[in-house]
Amino acid sequence: MANGMISFTLGLFLLMCCYSEKIMASDPDPLQDFCVADMESKDPMAVSAEDFFFGGLGQAGNTDNAVGSNVTMANVMQIPGLNTFGISLVRIDYAVGGINPPHTHPRATEVLVLLEGQLLVGFIDTANKFFSKTLEKGDVFVFPKALVHFQQNVGHENAVAIAALSSQLPGAQIIANSLFAADPPLPDSVLAKAFRITQELVDFIQKKFA
């Protein structure tokens, strides 16, 4: 009887171990690249509806730039009332052929809904598997936290999307700009070796971002 009890308990324990392997956990999130403590909150009596309001997503951003897209942000910088709530929005406008170039949000997963146009979207996971879709009006796509992703307008008209991000300040690191437009610049030798190209070609690409 006692043996039966022991093997039952052991079985239960092993079962729990198996299940717990499937439980995913994550680290606590920083809210910005760094945060040197000097924070103060607004006096609650001084808070008004304006602290929770932003009227800026109604207008299209100007897409007349090198990439043909424009991201209008509605995060804690525009809406102080978002502080500590782990959520924010962007509006993204795309000219025909325009691209929101490969970038990451170090602090947020993004869920995008296409309001107008046609978008080729995709992300690359850490095993370098590429996940991609062509979105039509009303379609939704998820870009998992911190993974490299992009959108391109592959339609014949302007496109516009709204995306929600799981951070009050998601941060964005555009891969090409980080590598080729850093200040001060990365050494040519690093980029040449990393991309398996000549240093002349590195200079050529860097000049495109100047």
Residue 66, classed as helix, strand or coil, is: coil
Site residues for ligand NAG, window 45-74 (CB under 6 A)?
Answer: 61-62, 65, 70
Nearer to ligand NAG, 57 or 142 (CB): 57
Task: CB nearer to ligand NAG: give 83 or 173.
Answer: 173
Sheet of 110-116: strands edge to edge? Answer: 69-74, 88-94, 159-165, 110-116, 140-143
Q: Work out how close the CB of 206 gets to ligand NAG at its nearest, in angstroms, rounded to a whole number.
A: 19
Residues near ligand NAG (CB under 6 A), total? 4
In the block, residue with structure tokens 């525009």: 78
Q: How far is the CB of 202 from ligand NAG (least distance, A)?
A: 24
Told to check if 117 binds ligand NAG by CB under 6 A, we report no
In this structure, what token pair is assigned to residue 208? Answer: 């495109």
H helices of the chain, in order, are 2-21, 175-180, 188-195, 199-208
Comparing C-alpha atoms, which of 193, 188, 189 is closest to residue 205? 188
Residue number, 170 or 191, with CB nearest to ligand NAG: 170
C-beta closer to ligand NAG: residue 79 or 90:
90
Which residues bind to ligand NAG, rule: CB under 6 A? 61-62, 65, 70
